[in-house]
Structures are given as structure tokens and as C-alpha cells.
Structure 1
Amino acid sequence: MNVIEKKEVTPGERIFQVVNITFFVIFTLICFYPFYYLLINSISANNLSAAGAINLIPRNIHIENYIQVLQLSGIPLAALVSVGRTVIGTLLTVIASAFLGFMFTQQKMWKRKFWYRFVIVTMYFNAGLIPMFITMKNLHLTNTFWVYVLPAIVQPFNIILVKTFIESLPKSLEEAAELDGAGTLTTFWKVILPSCTPILATVAIFTAVGQWNSFQDTLIYITDQRLYSLQYLLYQYINQASSLAAMVKNSTGGALNMGAIATQQTPTSIRMTVSVIVVLPIMFIYPMFQKYFVKGIMLGAVKG
């Protein structure tokens, strides 16, 4: 019977482990605290939050801030636009990145190296804001929902990640599919695509976060208020926080008891609540894709 001897931990290794764990615990708390600070200030008494009295523990907890902010004009429609652009944009970008990444690994693709370099060079050169606006206008994409989706479908960085990941897969997979009579599209859909789950999850995270957080394209291309994204609308509300707080105050009347004062909107409460509404949904996506994200980004970076 073989007995496996347990390796003795030296004092130096023990000290390193303690220091390492302590460092990362502190680092995690530093990263987590800003989100925690936003949350506790959005659910605490608004007069205390405005005075800067809420730092670690929420006080006089209430959810009136969220009820009142979500009742602001245009919020439901803007949320629908943001969800739509995030879901559709992410889906199309992932499919395009997967297909182009796959095609750029095919030796039989016509002028493969030229087209690959043609796509990659766009990472380093940009025509600028005015030519981009003129292009979108000439394509009749301004003031349409598709201006959020179509310009973001082809992303060179995502294509590089997928291409590198596919090159790390065994060539025997494609060879076996070709021997069975599969064409290029069949090989892509039935062999390559199911094998690319980790890297596609990584691309999906990058794209979803970018689509959800984007508001500058609304500022540039959209004047129709029905097409405002949630982020742009909330960005406007943050800039108008003082006037919104005054409007809510006037609508409640002059006499206020202590309970009303605690839930009365202030510029600080509006900014905190809006920030939480913007950040919270995308934070729920990361845990769902975390296991794929780490694997995909590491495997996609093995080969250059």
C-alpha cells in the first residue's frame, strides 16, 4: 500500500498565502464597495443620503426611489429599446464573429489573408465622427432602431478571439466532417459552432455590456424620443436631477412630516437610484457566463 506523504508547508509559504489572501480580499472589497455604496444610498432615507451620512449601513430602508424613478416618463419604452438592442445586437455580433473567425481559418477562402487584414486594419484607423454620421444618414439608418445594431455587428477584436480559438481546435474535426460529405456551412453550424461555446460566451459578454451601457450613439444618431435607449434617458435624468427633485417636492405640497422628508427625492437620491438601475441588470449576466468567460479568454489568447 502506497502512502502519499503530505508536503510540509514552510513558514515562508504560509506567510505568502496569508499575504496573498489578505491582498485579494481587500482588493475585492475595494472593487465591491462602490456598487454597495450606490445601493445603500438608493434605499436609505433621502435626507440622510443627501447629507452624506450613509457610508456602510443603510438607514430607514425604503424603495420609494425606485418606484418614483421607474414612473418617470419614457422609462418603459426606453427599457424595451435597450433590452432589444442588447439581445438582437449580441446575437448578431456573436454569429458574425463566429462565422468570420471560422472563414478566416479556411485555406480555401478566396483572398483570405487580404480580407483578414482588411478587417483588422479598422482597429487602428477610424474615419471619425462626422464621416460616420454622414454614412449612417446616407444609409437611412439615423432615427431607426437598426443604427444601434448594424454598425456593431463586425468587431475585429472579437473575430481575432474566435479565429484564434478555432485554430486551437483539432483539425481532425473538420477533416472528419469533410470526409462525411459536409460542406463549409454544415461544418460551421454542426461541428465548429458547438465547440466554440467558451469563446462565444466571452464575445457575448463583451458585446452585451457594450450594447447595454452605450448611450453616445443615441446622442449622435437619434432625435426621435421613442427610440431613446434607457441609458441615454437616465443620463438625461441624472443631468436634470436637481430640477426633477424640485418637481417631485412641489408635487407633494408644502407641509411634510418626517416620514415624507425621508422619502422625498433629492438630486443625490435620483443619481444613486438611476446608477443602480443602469448597473444592476448587467451585473446579473456575469455570473451566468463566468465559467465560460475565463476559459474562453485564456484559450483565445494561446496562439497569436
Structure 2
Amino acid sequence: MRRTRGEKVYNVVNIILLSVFAFICTYPFYYLIINSLSNNSLSAAGDVNWWIQGFHLENYKTVLGLDGLAQAAWISVARTVIGTVLTVLASAYLGFMFTQQKMWHRSFWYRFVVITMYFNAGLIPMFITMKNLGLTNNFWVYILPAIVQPFNIILVKTYIESIPASLQEAAEVDGAGTFTVFWRIVLPMCTPILATVAIFSAVNQWNSFQDTLIYMTDSKLYSLQYLLYTYINQASSIANSVKAGGSVTALASTATPTAIRMTVSVIVVLPIMFIYPFFQRFFVKGMMLGAVKG
């Protein structure tokens, strides 16, 4: 099909604007990576901007050798996997139940859940509640408070409402109960929206560190993000200890506060960046279909 001059100009401008936007989004990550792999003295001076200079991996050896990192990584992986699975299941089931006309006081319970998006008791009452429940210095404080997420429930509910009601009616005619309809009919059809919820939950769990700061004093239960957050704040002392220890003698690979911060940031960001592309196609589809009805 022959395009008009105006359409060609529009396409060119559109491509340029989107390319600039993509560059703005990706450059900070690229900048972190090249500086974590470059000559530390050049990185500290701000001379590494476009490509790696003086490639080395000593920064990663230094950071990965820090005390407690393996245990913290295990805690973060465990909370992300368990928390995501439970959140997805809870969001799917509650979203499904809120579409059922026969649910007892359905409108009241739905509004009761939604209103929590706008109001909360605050930090101190929350801490007191968690302490009275025995969840301080307890791994499950990472999981239980995050299972029921009103926004995720709204997404799933809206998506399920777009599924033809005749499917459930046919299953009920064949003798299927409410849970059977949910597990065998509705849940398999909700893959796109559940993948969307899984991304939201996984990112929140992986990036969270404030719950560790508030509820944990046992270092064995520190999450990776909290541990690396403390290392970022202590980057200068870590760099000085590495220098004093004499484990790295080359100037190019001598740890600096800037190098420590860059490397820690890369370690935190990369895992979730590798996971996201696998869910991207479901994410877009789920968000679009979940927004069809209000």
C-alpha cells in the first residue's frame, strides 16, 4: 500500500521519538553494567560513559564474597517464589468468588477488600499487630501480609467477567461444584492475567527491603535487597577494607565506593530483568483484557 508523504513523516518522527524514549529507559542499566566492569579509578572519576574501559570482574568477586550474601539470596528467592505463588492463587480465587452471584454478601466483602487500598492503620499499629501475631523475626512476615492484594483481585475479577458465563453454567449442569468450576474451568483460562499478577507480586517481593528493616533483627532472615542496601550505605568502609586486606593489588581493580554501589545495583536488578521477558507477552495481553470491563 502506497503511503502518503504525511504518513511517512509521521512514521519517521514516531520511530525517532520511541528510539529516544527506549534509550532513556535502557541507558541507566547499561551505565551501571559498564561501570561495574570497568577500571574503578576511571569509573570513580566519571570517565566511563559509553563503553567498558579496563575490563575486570574483581568488583563482582568482592561483592559476592561479602558475609551473609548466600543466605540473604536464599531468603529473597524463597520469599519471591512462595509469596508469588500464594498471591496468585489468592487473587485468582477471590477474584473468581467476587463474580459469583450466590456468594454470601458478595458486594459487601468486595467493597471491604477494595477500601483497604485507600486506608491503612499506619506503621506503628502494623508493627504491633505483627509482633502480637508472633511474626517479627519470622520468615512468614514476608509472605502473609502480601497475599491479599486488592489491585490484583480487581484485575482478576474484571478478567473473569469477560469469560462467557455459559461455560460455568454448562459445567454446573454437568454436576461441577464451585471449586471444580474454578480449578478446572476458570483458572486455566486466566493464564494472561495471572501472569500479570505474578509479575507484580514477584517484582514487589524481590525489591522489598523495608519489611526487613521494620520486622527483622535476626541477620539470618535478612533479604538480599536489605543486605545490599546496607552494603551500599557502607560502600566506603567496604572499599577501604578491601584495600587494607591487600586481596586486590592492581589499581584498575581496587574497590572504590562507586564501584561497590554500581556492582550491588547490578546484582539486585539483573535477576528480575532476566525473568520479565518470559512473562512480557502475557503481561500485555492480561492488562488489556483485564481492562475491558470496569
Same fold (TM over 0.5): yes
- Distance in 2 (CA, whole Å) between partners of 1:204 and 1:55 is 35
Whether 2:220 is the aligned partner of 1:201: answer: no
Show the 5 A alignment for 1:1-304. Answer: 7-252=1-246, 256=249, 260-304=250-294
Letter in 2 for 1:267: P
Ranges in structure 1 where 5+ consecutive residues have no aligned partner: 1-6
Percent pairwise identity: 71
SS of 1:287's equivalent in the other structure is helix
SS in 2 for 1:302: coil
Q: How much does 1:8 deviate?
A: 2.0
**Match of 2:243, as an amino acid?**
K
Gap regions ≥5 residues in structure 2: none
Larger Rg computed on CA atoms: 1
Aligned-partner SS, 1:163: helix
Q: CA deviation at 1:285?
A: 1.2
Structure-2 separation of matches of 1:91 and 1:137: 25
Match of 1:125, as an amino acid? F
Q: How many residues are aligned here? A: 294
Q: CA separation in 2, counterparts of 1:296 and 1:41?
A: 36
Amino acid at match of 1:103: M
Q: How far off its partner does 1:262 sit?
A: 0.5
Distance in structure 1 (CA, Å) of the matches to 2:55 and 2:169: 62
In the TM superposition, structure 1's runs of 4+ consecutive aligned residues that sit over 2 Å from their partners are: none
Equivalent-residue separation in structure 2 for 1:9 and 1:240 (angstroms): 59
TM-score (norm 1): 0.96
Structure 1 residue identity aligned to 2:264: V
Q: CA offsets, 1:122-171, max 9 Å, x none? A: 00101000000000001000100000000000000000000000000011
RMSD: 0.9
Within 1, Cα distance between the matches of 2:167 and 2:209? 42
CA displacement, residues 34-67 of structure 1 (integer Å, 9 cap, x when unaligned): 0000000000011111111100010111111111
